[in-house]
């Protein structure tokens, strides 16, 4: 039995009864990584010496009775696009291969305050651009359920490390589904909070109007605890919202009587496999038995979300990634003849194919003569998608559908077909464009034994209702208890 089979609450009780120590938890994490990470490849950098020292310090606090908070002593992994002081942060890109940040991201400072222990930095698609984690500049992550399959992306390492039992939970980032899609593929719980709920200070930017940091965990309760720790306004991030952070765990009542669920017909249509559709309908029947009701609705502009998203996100990426020029930090080409060649060669050698593809698409969409036709038009479509959600939420409490149209696909299966790869995020992208919160929870296994995910979408800053529904569903099923065998 894994130490991490227990949730946070049970582990805290064991710590306070002195049945285990923080050092036991952290040592177990590194032992598990040494056993399985050569197969999963979830970690890019480990911080073993500092982590074990911090565990000892926390054990001394435990002995003195000075513990605080639900996350005390819990081992965590952090996606490698979230900066960590003195711990290499690469964004899984050659261009940042030697980058050691001199400050911590706000979420990392909040984790320090909560007295968690950072085990290491997690693999990802380069600069968070990808849906399979095959775009990592160093090595692809593999799905713990079947290592011939992808774990999803871009937070593939974050989801795979939790599914493989290497850490208790992790932080990922979600720009168009990059927490929820890998959570679905790996059979874990992943939440994209409302845009502005969690500070982005210290998150290396991909698309600033879409990016959001969020928690990936084994169960819904732990997810609520982790969001509680990282949420809140931040003076270092002008886009973080000055809205009170509720006690999310208080929402975990199991009561969904009278809850009104909307099921968009577009989310169960073309491209969604029959077993994914069946798993969603079965999940809805579970919630019906608990007293909720559901009706089919339409989000008519969803069909334009994919095109709008890739124009907007690529445009923002082309601007954000202009800073990687070989001058101030990161990789620099050898012996350039002049400044222009320094820029060109550094970026050509430092960025991977997918990053270059998106920079070029974004630069084109923002260029003179094309801005109105592409970027501006995409912003108008984004507004229509947001209005679709607002209209549905006038009459319903949550929107439910599949997280992904299919289970995890095989490594290499779609790598040469970017458009098919992009379509994997078709059900998650509208949530980012609208800025609303969404969670993916396990809802079954495919005929191949691969996890399937149920997506629950809520109103702006109403993560509590999402957690209430997800927790009620989780308590009535055992999908979250299924674990891969490595």
Spell out the domain ranges in the chain: 3-253+438-454
φ/ψ region of 178 (left if φ > 0, alpha if ψ in -120 to 50, else beta) reads alpha
Q: Would you call 265 a catalytic residue per the annotation?
A: no
Query: Phi and psi of 471, rounded to 5°?
Result: -70, -40
Instruction: Output the pTM of the full model.
Output: 0.96
Rounded to the nearest integer, the mean pLDDT of the chain is 95
Of 23, 131, 136, 154, the active-site residue reads: 154
Of 29, 54, 79, 302, the active-site residue reads: 79
* 186-191 average pLDDT score: 98
Contacts of 152 (CB under 8 A, 6+ apart): 131, 132, 133, 143, 159, 181, 182, 183, 184, 185, 186, 404, 408, 424
pLDDT of residue 427: 94
pLDDT of residue 175: 97
Contacts of 184 (CB under 8 A, 6+ apart): 152, 190, 402, 403, 404, 440, 442, 451, 452, 453, 455
Residue 306 has pLDDT above 80, yes or no: yes
Of 178, 279, 313, 440, the active-site residue reads: 178
Q: Which residues of 202-223 are buried (b: 16+ CB within 10 A; e: fewer)?
A: bbbbbbebbbbbbbbbbbbbbb
pLDDT of residue 292: 98
Question: What's 3-253+438-454's CATH class?
Answer: alpha beta
pLDDT digits over 3-37, tens only?
Answer: 898 899 999 999 999 999 999 999 999 999 999 99
* 98-116 average pLDDT score: 96
pLDDT of residue 424: 77
Q: What angle do CA 472, 190, 91 make, to 5 degrees?
A: 170
Residue 42 has pLDDT above 90, yes or no: yes
Residue 415 has pLDDT above 80, yes or no: no
Closest CA to 480 of 186, 219, 151: 219
Q: Would you call 79 a catalytic residue per the annotation?
A: yes
Where does the pLDDT of residue 1 fall: very low under 50, low under 70, confident under 90, or very high at 90 and above? low
* 48-54 average pLDDT score: 97
């Amino acid at each position: 039995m894994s130490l991490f089979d227990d949730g946070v609450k049970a582990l805290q009780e064991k710590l306070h009864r002195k049945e285990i120590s923080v050092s036991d938890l952290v040592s177990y994490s590194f032992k598990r990584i040494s056993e399985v990470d050569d197969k999963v490849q979830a970690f890019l950098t480990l911080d073993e010496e500092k982590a074990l020292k911090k565990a000892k310090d926390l054990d001394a606090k435990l002995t003195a009775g000075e513990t605080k908070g639900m996350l005390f002593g819990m081992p965590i992994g952090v996606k490698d696009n979230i900066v960590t002081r003195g711990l290499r942060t690469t964004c899984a890109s050659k261009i940042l291969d030697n980058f050691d940040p001199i400050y911590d991201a706000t979420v990392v400072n909040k984790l320090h305050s909560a007295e968690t222990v950072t085990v290491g930095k997690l693999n990802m698609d380069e600069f968070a651009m990808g849906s399979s984690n095959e775009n990592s500049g160093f090595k692809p992550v593999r799905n713990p359920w079947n290592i011939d399959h992808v774990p999803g992306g871009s937070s593939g390492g974050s989801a795979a490390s939790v599914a493989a039992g290497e850490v208790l939970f992790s932080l990922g980032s979600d720009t168009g589904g990059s927490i929820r899609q890998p959570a679905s593929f790996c059979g874990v719980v992943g939440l994209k909070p409302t845009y502005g709920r969690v500070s982005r200070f210290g998150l290396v930017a991909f698309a600033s109007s879409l990016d959001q940091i969020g928690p990936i965990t084994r169960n819904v309760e732990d997810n609520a605890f982790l969001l509680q720790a990282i949420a809140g306004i931040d003076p270092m991030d002008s886009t973080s919202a000055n809205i009170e952070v509720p006690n999310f765990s208080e929402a975990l009542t199991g009561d969904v009587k009278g809850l009104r669920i909307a099921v968009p017909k577009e989310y169960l249509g073309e491209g969604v496999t029959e077993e994914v559709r069946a798993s969603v309908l079965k999940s809805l029947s579970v919630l019906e038995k608990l007293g909720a009701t559901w009706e089919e609705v339409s989000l008519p502009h969803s069909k334009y979300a994919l095109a709008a998203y890739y124009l907007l996100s690529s445009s923002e990426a082309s601007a954000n990634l202009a800073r990687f020029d070989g001058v101030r930090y990161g990789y620099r080409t050898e012996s350039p003849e002049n400044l222009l060649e320094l820029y060109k060669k550094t970026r050509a050698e430092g960025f991977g194919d997918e990053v270059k593809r998106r920079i070029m698409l974004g630069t084109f969409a923002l260029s003179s003569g094309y801005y109105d036709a592409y970027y501006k038009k995409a912003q108008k479509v984004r507004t229509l998608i947001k209005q679709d959600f607002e209209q549905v939420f006038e009459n319903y409490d949550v929107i439910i559908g599949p997280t992904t149209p299919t289970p995890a696909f095989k490594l290499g299966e779609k790598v040469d077909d970017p458009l098919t790869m992009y379509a994997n995020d078709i059900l998650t992208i509208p949530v980012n464009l609208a800025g609303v919160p969404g969670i993916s929870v396990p809802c079954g296994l495919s005929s191949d034994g691969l996890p399937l995910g149920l997506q629950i979408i809520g109103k702006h800053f109403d993560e509590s209702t999402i957690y209430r529904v997800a927790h009620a569903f989780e308590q009535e099923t055992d999908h979250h208890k299924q674990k891969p065998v490595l």
